[in-house]
Amino acid sequence: MEPVANKAAASLLARVREGLRRRKTPMTISKVNLAAVTRAERKSVITRTSEAVQACGGWIDDVNFFSNLSIAIRCYIPSGRSTLLGERLEKIGLSLDGKGLDALARAAAENEPSSELLCFLSITFFHDEPDMRQVVPSVPG
């Protein structure tokens, strides 16, 4: 172990080590898979979904677009606000599957309210628009 440069850093390091020794169970993150469908306009649904996650005290970690057909969102929220997320998503016009709603309710009941809940949200858009085309520039070579 390397020597610590000052007393404040040494004190902080000692408290962290003590906290790690006292922890009886490792920190776990619960996971929930949510699937939703909608006929609402894609861009507004994406914006309102982001706002719903933030309003629940969460944040979006990753987003993957699949043309204009669907989107996959990975986000974290406090477990105690999981049912609120489900309600907010339904208010913006997303039809969530029953398994996802049950999982959100279980997460709220079984976990500490401040523990993190990892949510994988897949939204499928039903519309009459053609597939989005991405223009890929040609690379000389």
| pLDDT confidence of residue 16 | 66
**How high is the pLDDT of residue 20?**
58
Give residue 5's Cα distance to chain centre. Answer: 38
**Residue boundaries of the structural domains of the chain:** 31-125
pLDDT in tens, the chain (141 residues): 455 456 776 676 776 676 656 555 555 678 999 999 999 999 899 999 999 999 999 999 999 988 889 999 999 999 999 999 999 999 999 999 989 889 999 988 888 888 889 999 999 999 888 777 777 788 876
Task: Give residues with Cβ within 8 angstroms of 30, minimum separation 6.
Answer: 79, 107, 110, 111, 115, 116, 117, 118
